[in-house]
């Protein structure tokens, strides 16, 4: 099982704990990663479509040359690329225009065959849950976990959940929590926005969203929240103390990346999963995990 790996900027920038954790987990699972190094940023919903689509088309063409589907570890990368891919696949005239105007100079052409998948989808759709279960060395019993998807991993439907069967993508994280042996601390906003996209435009609203989601999770008794999106992580973890200051309420909820969560169940220790690199202290999680092993 092999993928063209698109790690995204944040997994090596603002969340440098994510990239090595994901690589270790993939290696343990036997998922081979061929990293796409000479490709650009997806645009992250910041760059307009007319600029981002050709850059993403180039990424898809590079993966197509390798004959591999793309695997990401970021909901935003997945969402932005899936939307661009949908436009390029569904509209051959548009694809031809992008190929001709932007990729032909390099001798590249995107034929429209590349799939874009997040690690979370890969686990369920390609790897297989039974196979994952067979590798669990440390069932995370006794831990209460809230899921937080990142909106780009749930919508828009035509790009993310195009069939009735794939609508199940909306509950993969919920399912994974029980598969890894943990208990669910469900929250109403698990599929909503974390607030990160408006941090520059309206910091107050952005932090209010952080407080809302993490506060609800804490009230439900969660030990931590797990997210497949490092941008959500930047806001929910990195800006949690500012959200606390804004609302005057202590929250103190650790936020784990998806690969870290999977990695702990696969038997990695908390240092190997770089938990110490988080802004919100993960000491309580670390001691609970260490008591399990």
Partner 1 sequence: MEITFKVYRKDPEKDGKPGRSNYTLELAEDATVLDALLKIRDESDSTLSFRGCCGRGYCGECMMRVNGSARLACTAKVPDYTKKGPEISLDPLRNVPVIKDLVFDWDAFMWNKIKEVKPWLEPESSPVNGENLASEAEMQDLRKVMSCFYCGMCDEGCTVLPVDFKFLGPAALTKAYRLAFDPRNKDSREQVKIVEKPKGIWDCVHCYEADEHCPRGIEPTKRIVALRDRAFNSGITHEAVARHHASFASSVKESGWLDEGRLAVESEGLTNVKGLMKLLPTAAKALARGKAPIPYMHSKRPDADKIKKIFEKAEQEEK
Given the complex with partner 1, which of 13 and 128 has the nearer CB atom?
A: 13
Taking phi first (over 0 means left), then psi (-120 to 50 degrees means alpha), and beta for anything else, what does residue 279 get?
A: alpha
Report the alpha-carbon distance of residue 85 to residue 65 in Å, rounded: 16
Least distance from partner 1 to the Cβ atom of residue 179, Å: 25
DSSP string, 137-184: SS--TT-EEEE---GGGT--HHHH--STGGGGGGGHHHHHHHHTT-EE
Region at 117 (left for phi over 0; alpha for psi -120 to 50; beta for the rest): beta
Q: Which of 30, 34, 46, 92 touches partner 1 by CB under 8 A? A: 46
Sign of the alpha-carbon dihedral angle for 23, 267, 186, 161: positive
| Interaction mask 56-95, partner 1, x per CB under 8 A | --x-------------------------------------
User: b/e map of 139-156 (b: 16 or more CB within 10 Å)?
Assistant: ebeebbbbbbbbbbbbee
Q: To the nearest whole angstrom, how small is the minimum distance from the Cβ of residue 240 to partner 1?
A: 10
Which phi and psi (to 5°) does residue 33 adopt? -115, 125
Dihedral sign for Cα atoms in the order 29, 27, 118, 285: positive
CA 136 to CA 106: how far, in whole Å? Answer: 45
DSSP one-letter code for 49: H
**Residue for token digits 């110490």?**
276
Give the shortest CB-270-to-partner 1 separation in angstroms: 14
Task: Report the alpha-carbon distance of residue 53 to residue 84 in Å, rounded.
Answer: 6
Question: How far apart are CB 39 and partner 1 at their closest, in Å?
Answer: 7
Nearer to partner 1, 31 or 240 (CB): 240
Site residues for partner 1, window 239-268 (CB under 8 A)?
239, 241-242
163 near partner 1, rule: CB under 8 A = no
Minimum distance between the CB of residue 118 and partner 1, rounded to whole angstroms? 16
Which listed range, 118-126, 188-196, 220-228, 258-266, lies at the site for partner 1 (CB under 8 A)?
188-196
Q: How far is the CB of 56 from partner 1 (least distance, A)?
A: 10
Kindly tell me which of 165 and 204 has the beta carbon lying closer to partner 1: 204
Is 47 an interacting residue with respect to partner 1 (CB under 8 A)?
yes
The interface with partner 1 within residues 203-222 (CB under 8 A) comprises 204-205, 208-209, 212
Interface with partner 1 by CB under 8 A: which residues?
9-10, 13-17, 37-41, 43-51, 54-55, 58, 101-102, 105-106, 151, 155-157, 192-193, 195, 197-198, 200-202, 204-205, 208-209, 212, 238-239, 241-242, 276-279
């Amino acid at each position: 099982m092999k993928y063209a790996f698109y790690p995204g900027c944040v997994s090596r920038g603002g969340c440098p704990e994510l990239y090595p954790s994901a690589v270790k987990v993939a290696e343990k699972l036997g998922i081979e990663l061929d990293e796409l190094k000479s490709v650009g940023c997806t645009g992250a919903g910041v760059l307009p479509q007319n600029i981002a689509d050709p850059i993403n088309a180039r990424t898809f063409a590079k993966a197509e040359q390798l004959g591999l589907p793309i695997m990401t570890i970021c909901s935003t990368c997945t969402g932005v690329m899936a939307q661009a891919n949908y436009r390029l696949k569904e509209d051959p005239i548009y694809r031809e225009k992008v190929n001709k105007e932007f990729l032909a100079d390099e001798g590249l052409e995107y034929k429209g065959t590349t799939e874009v998948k997040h690690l979370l989808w890969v686990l369920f759709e390609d790897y297989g849950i039974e196979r994952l279960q067979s590798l669990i060395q440390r069932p995370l019993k006794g831990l209460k976990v809230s899921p937080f998807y990142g909106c780009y991993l749930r919508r828009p439907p035509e790009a993310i959940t195009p069939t009735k069967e794939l609508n199940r993508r909306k509950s993969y994280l919920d399912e994974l929590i029980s598969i890894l042996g943990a208990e669910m601390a469900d929250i109403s906003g698990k599929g909503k926005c974390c607030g990160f996209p408006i941090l520059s435009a309206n910091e107050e609203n952005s932090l209010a969203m952080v407080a809302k989601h993490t506060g609800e999770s804490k009230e439900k008794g969660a030990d931590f929240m797990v997210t497949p999106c490092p941008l959500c992580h930047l806001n929910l973890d990195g800006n949690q103390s500012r959200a606390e200051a804004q609302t005057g309420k202590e929250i103190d909820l650790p936020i784990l990346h998806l690969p870290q969560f999977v990695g702990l169940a696969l038997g990695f220790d908390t240092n190997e999963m770089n938990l110490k690199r988080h802004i919100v202290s993960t000491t309580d999680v670390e001691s609970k995990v260490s008591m399990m092993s």
